Amino acid sequence: MPLKTFVKVGSITNLSDARYCAGMGVDLLGFCALEGQANYISPKQFQEIRGWVSGPKVVAEISGLNHAAALSAIIENYRPDFLELGVAELPAVGKLSIPLILRGTASELQQLTTEQKNIAFMLIQEHDKVELLPDGIPVLLELTSLSNLEVLHHHPSFGIALSGSSEISPGLKNYDHLAEVLEQLEIQD
């Protein structure tokens, strides 16, 4: 069933999360593509997962990028539809044609202008400060629990961002943290 709002699930590290999210109608799946960062997934692991999943677009999460040389390898190996990075990394990526998801605080994101045309989404945790964000760029609100879902009543045009989790063992997975939110977002017939 389709979901009531746009959903990105990031920090995917296993096929179980990827397939569950795709089956639930999630729009974007994010994979940490920067070696040395938490939840990093190698290009080989990524290709194995991507071969089993269709539907959602792919986000290469590159927060912590400190040099442009690594970026070309990430683009080559992951072939992402979007790049997700922090405001601090924006200068390191230069001008790319790949759409960006820019993660930051309200005060960091407030400095953006709509002239930066390749910013597809702003991702923020501070739900109470969204009015500070510049107009014209869609917002993804990072949710940590079902109780945060009420923010969509105040900002129905916004999407949400969730995070995957580790498997207990290959194929053995608890989806409660994702299911409690995604099931609330399902459009019932």
| The pLDDT value given to residue 115 | 57
What is the pTM (predicted TM-score) of this model? 0.88
The span from the CA of 133 to the CA of 100, in Å, is: 16
Give the C-alpha distances (Å, rounded to integers) separating 19 from 33, 117, 143, 144: 19, 31, 20, 21
| Tens of each residue's pLDDT in the chain, 189 residues | 588 889 999 999 999 899 989 999 999 999 999 999 999 999 999 999 999 999 999 999 998 887 777 899 999 999 999 999 998 888 878 778 899 999 988 888 887 765 567 889 999 887 778 777 777 888 898 886 665 666 666 665 688 898 887 766 666 555 566 777 777 777 765
Instruction: Say whether domain 7-185 belongs to CATH 3.20.20.70.
Output: yes
Domain ranges of the chain: 7-185
Reference 62, options 120, 103, 114; nearest CA is 103
Scanning the structure block, which residue is given the tokens 């017939």?
A: 189
| The pLDDT value given to residue 167 | 65
| The pLDDT value given to residue 94 | 77
CA-based diameter of the chain, in Å?
49
Reference 19, options 140, 157, 164; nearest CA is 164
